[in-house]
Amino acid sequence: MSEISASGASATDTVSGTVIAESATPRGRRARAALFGLQVLLALFYAIASALPKLIAHSSAVDSFDRIGWGTTGMYIIGVLELAGAVALLIPVLQSVAAMALGALMAGAFVVQVTIFDGENAATPLILIVPLALIAWARRGRNADLLRLVRRQA
């Protein structure tokens, strides 16, 4: 049996598909707060630790992108994509899409780490994919809102 809250949302109901992070229970509120905290941490990581060195052309980033063969143009493009993803992780209607896009970027980073850098630091993008997948899944309901917004503008 599932518990039904005062708002009618179920905290443990798997039949209806209700997710704990969307329920109105105290447990659901804590889950939402923890998920948002994770999003803020990831946004800070992508903006400061990942995008910033690329956008200021730090020597380590320049060297890495020269080794890949993409040069500074590729470095700036990836830096802008990471910064855009970091910002979008904090915008409710874009959270799920941002997490999916950053996850795809991390899949590409993994491939580059394995093929170009002989696996050095290849675990980092894989580790980052896990919380990004969690955010994309937990915030998937916002995708319908985004689709409605896009259709209304078209």
- Per-residue pLDDT at 24: 76
Residue 12 has pLDDT above 70, yes or no: no
Which distant-in-sequence residues (6+ apart) come within 8 Å of 40 by Cβ?
90
Residue 67 has pLDDT above 90, yes or no: yes
Residue whose tokens read 């630091």: 121
What is the value of pTM for the model shown? 0.82
Residue 47 has pLDDT above 60, yes or no: yes
Identify the CA nearest to 80 among candidates 54, 100, 105, 60: 54
Q: How far apart are CA 56 and CA 27, in angstroms?
A: 42
Cross-strand partners of 10: 4
